[in-house]
Structure 1
Amino acid sequence: MLRRFALLGVAASAIAACNPQSGPRKTGPAVAKGNGITITADEFKARLDEQSPFIRARYSSLDRKKEFLDSLIRFEVLAREAEKQGLQNDPDVQLTMKKIMVQKLVQKSFQDPAGAQLPDSELQAYYDQHKADYFRPKKVRVAAVIFNAPEGTPERAKKKELAKKALAKLKVEEKKNTLAFTQIVNEFSEDAASKATAGDLNFKSQDELEKAYGKELADAVFAAKPGDTTPVVETKAGLYIAKVTGQQEEMNRTFEQVKAQIANKLTREKKTKEFDEYLKKLRDQANVQVDEKVLEGVEVAAAPAGMPGMPGMMGGGMPAGHGMGGPMVAPSQPPPAPAAK
């Protein structure tokens, strides 16, 4: 019995909310025919094709095809009886039909026709205007012990000896203490801003590091590997001991590499805009007036404790405004645009 209901459920899920006998004209030879009921080979195949590949694989033999056909026949028999009892006029049935009509309307109006493509000139223009999204130089994260000793000043030599002393101490301490660099920064660094963050200078490209601290430091840092510590580096502004603490690889994506991604993004944006404009036009034509006093008086029952579901979700676990899950209430969310070819 449970197996029979499961098969019936498969068929019902495939053709629910449709009136199979009064819908589109059937084509192909009949595989089953009776009093007011006809199931054609084309219809049988269409219903079977709607199932997942895993389920379809079960119905390769004649006996298993008969099982699936039997489930379709049961559905047709029940649907015919439901019509006889006038259930097509039931409010729940009418609401379900309305949801499906809205879904079909949106699909018909806002899914791209086959082969529709945005012109390359439009995609290229977007790429040129957003090159920073597709080009990124290599960056390293640096921490530094900084000694303020401009070139040519009397204290330069003294600070250089102090920097060498700090580096020697660091090499000894870091063998037994993972926080040795931080401690050296706290003890020796003369730059208050970076000292407050354990010497961290954040991620910088070679060009950014050169502009901020000098070519000598930038060259030394970019010659090192993550985890390495530089020797004492002399620049015009001062002396540095730097440690590479992280790295971001270069990103260089050509137009051809991101063309499909850009087309997909722009298509979604266009469809969203078209849908919003279309819905606004329909709302304006409908001239809907809201009675806030009546609306405020509507009592909303609290959800029972432990009831599954999330805010913004309708029955069946579908987001409100999409398909069978609920009425269309999310005007900025048309169906997803097909992936760019």
Structure 2
Amino acid sequence: MTPKARIALSAVILVALGAGAGFATGRASSRRGLLASRDAAGPAVAEFRGWSLPAAMVAKELSTQPARVKEALRSPAARKTYVEGVTRTALFAREAERRGLQLDPDFLRRYEEELAKTFIERELEAAQRQGAPTDEEVHRWFEENAAALGRPERARIATVAYLAGDADAAARADKRRAAERGLAAALRRAADPYAFGGLARTESEDLQARATNGELPFATREELAQRLGPELAEAAFAAREAGTVVPRVVETQRGFYVVKLLGREAAYAPAFEDVKDAIRSRLAAERRAKAYEALVQRVYREAGVRFDEKAIAELKIE
């Protein structure tokens, strides 16, 4: 068998195993288990213990397979492998039922979970398809949330802080003079990419920023204002070119700062075409979540579900 043929045959086997779990049916001699409810009549391609695999059902299932699988199944040997896989799954499943394994607690738990999933899908599927977000709804959501989808302008700065806090006028004046000396030193060595970091390490009174050479992460104007004060945010965004040392000491309520602009990021606003699919998926997910919650509440109400909080609290976990 050529390598190409082996690959094709492997694909057939995988399909057969999946289909065996998905539709193996036929006439069963026993009516003990759930699988008996899936029996069907007609000329068979395989049989055991009165069970049969109708040829019509195999043909129907194969007609839904991808073209490459159909091509591989042109070989009689491949078709036999497929039928063997379906039959083997059916045989094992019915043998398990014959031994009562459908009553195994672990299996019943998995069966319960899968049955619940199927119930939810069936109950919600039709309504969700009928209520899919329209183009108009998607576009309206985009217009209403355009600001949140975009990103405002951001700046990355480094600072040397001379903190004054609640100091009196004389102490604040001393801090200003120290900051002015620091600014003069930063301006003298503005072309040296390492100088500002060295100044921050040796003089900055903001210990957290000192550990990073005074450098802060990218932040919006609002974020900088909240962290260090609106005066500093205004100065940072007034500088336009990366590497610029702001040519004045910036005074805030916390103290005095020497500021260097390290980089800028322009504001970003996505085009509708770039995000419409994501918006549609989000709206669909939100609707499904609401529909699911409504389904839960309805079924709870109809079933009279009650929870014993005291009994739940007293559960003992070994």
Tell me the TM-score range normalised by the shorter chain: 0.5 to 0.7
Distance in 2 between residues matched to 1:255 and 1:48, nearest whole Å: 40
**Alignment partner, residue 25 of structure 2:** 20
Distance in 2 between residues matched to 1:55 and 1:41, nearest whole Å: 18
Structure 1 residues 242, 102: closer, same or farther in 2, change over 3 A? same
Q: Which structure shows the bigger proportion of residues in helix conformation?
A: 2
The answer to whether the aligner puts 1:282 opposite 2:282 as a matched pair is no
Q: Which runs of 5+ in 2 are unaligned?
A: 1-11, 27-35, 164-173
The code of the aligned residue for 1:218 comes to F
Counterpart of 2:200 (choices 182, 185, 191) is: 182
Q: Which runs of 5+ in 1 are unaligned?
A: 1-6, 149-154, 187-191, 302-341
Q: CA deviation at 1:277?
A: 1.6
Structure 1 residues 62, 217: closer, same or farther in 2, change over 3 A? same
**Alignment partner, residue 107 of structure 1:** 121
Distance in 2 between residues matched to 1:294 and 1:240, nearest whole Å: 61
Distance in 1 between residues matched to 2:120 and 2:244, nearest whole Å: 60
**Alignment partner, residue 168 of structure 2:** none
Structure 1 residues 91, 179: closer, same or farther in 2, change over 3 A? same
The answer to whether the aligner puts 1:46 opposite 2:61 as a matched pair is yes
Task: Tell whether the 8 Å contact from 1:229 to 1:241 is kept in structure 2 after alignment.
Answer: no
* SS of the residue 1:223 aligns to: coil
Distance in 2 between residues matched to 1:164 and 1:68, nearest whole Å: 83
Counterpart of 2:80 (choices 59, 66, 69) is: 66
Structure 1 residues 45, 147: closer, same or farther in 2, change over 3 A? same
Pairwise CA RMSD: 5.1
* SS of the residue 2:120 aligns to: helix
Distance in 2 between residues matched to 1:39 and 1:182, nearest whole Å: 82
**Alignment partner, residue 137 of structure 2:** 122
The code of the aligned residue for 1:130 comes to N
Distance in 2 between residues matched to 1:157 and 1:293, nearest whole Å: 68
Equivalent positions of 1:181-200 (< 5 A) are 181-183=199-201, 185-186=203-204, 197-198=209-210, 199=214
**Alignment partner, residue 187 of structure 2:** 167
**Alignment partner, residue 45 of structure 2:** 32
Distance in 1 between residues matched to 2:160 and 2:45, nearest whole Å: 86
* SS of the residue 2:90 aligns to: helix
The answer to whether the aligner puts 1:230 opposite 2:248 as a matched pair is no
Structure 1 residues 58, 243: closer, same or farther in 2, change over 3 A? farther
Distance in 2 between residues matched to 1:146 and 1:96, nearest whole Å: 62
Counterpart of 1:273 (choices 290, 298, 310) is: 290
Q: CA deviation at 1:17?
A: 8.2
Structure 1 residues 132, 75: closer, same or farther in 2, change over 3 A? same
* SS of the residue 2:133 aligns to: coil
Task: Tell whether the 8 Å contact from 1:170 to 1:184 is kept in structure 2 after alignment.
Answer: no
Distance in 1 between residues matched to 2:313 and 2:237, nearest whole Å: 65
Distance in 2 between residues matched to 1:291 and 1:145, nearest whole Å: 61
Distance in 2 between residues matched to 1:201 and 1:104, nearest whole Å: 51
Structure 1 residues 235, 55: closer, same or farther in 2, change over 3 A? same
Structure 1 residues 53, 158: closer, same or farther in 2, change over 3 A? same
**Alignment partner, residue 212 of structure 1:** 231
Percent of counterpart pairs with the same letter?
17
**Alignment partner, residue 75 of structure 1:** 89
State the TM-score, normalized to the length of structure 2.
0.60
Structure 1 residues 164, 30: closer, same or farther in 2, change over 3 A? farther
Distance in 2 between residues matched to 1:74 and 1:81, nearest whole Å: 10
The answer to whether the aligner puts 1:136 opposite 2:151 as a matched pair is yes
The code of the aligned residue for 2:209 comes to T
Distance in 2 between residues matched to 1:218 and 1:146, nearest whole Å: 18
The code of the aligned residue for 1:251 comes to Y
Distance in 2 between residues matched to 1:129 and 1:78, nearest whole Å: 57
**Alignment partner, residue 309 of structure 1:** none
Structure 1 residues 268, 53: closer, same or farther in 2, change over 3 A? farther
Distance in 1 between residues matched to 2:259 and 2:56, nearest whole Å: 76
Task: Tell whether the 8 Å contact from 1:147 to 1:163 is kept in structure 2 after alignment.
Answer: no
The code of the aligned residue for 1:167 comes to L
Query: Matched residue pairs, number?
Result: 275
Distance in 2 between residues matched to 1:138 and 1:79, nearest whole Å: 62
* SS of the residue 1:257 aligns to: helix
* SS of the residue 1:242 aligns to: strand
Task: Tell whether the 8 Å contact from 1:26 to 1:40 is kept in structure 2 after alignment.
Answer: no
Distance in 2 between residues matched to 1:169 and 1:145, nearest whole Å: 14
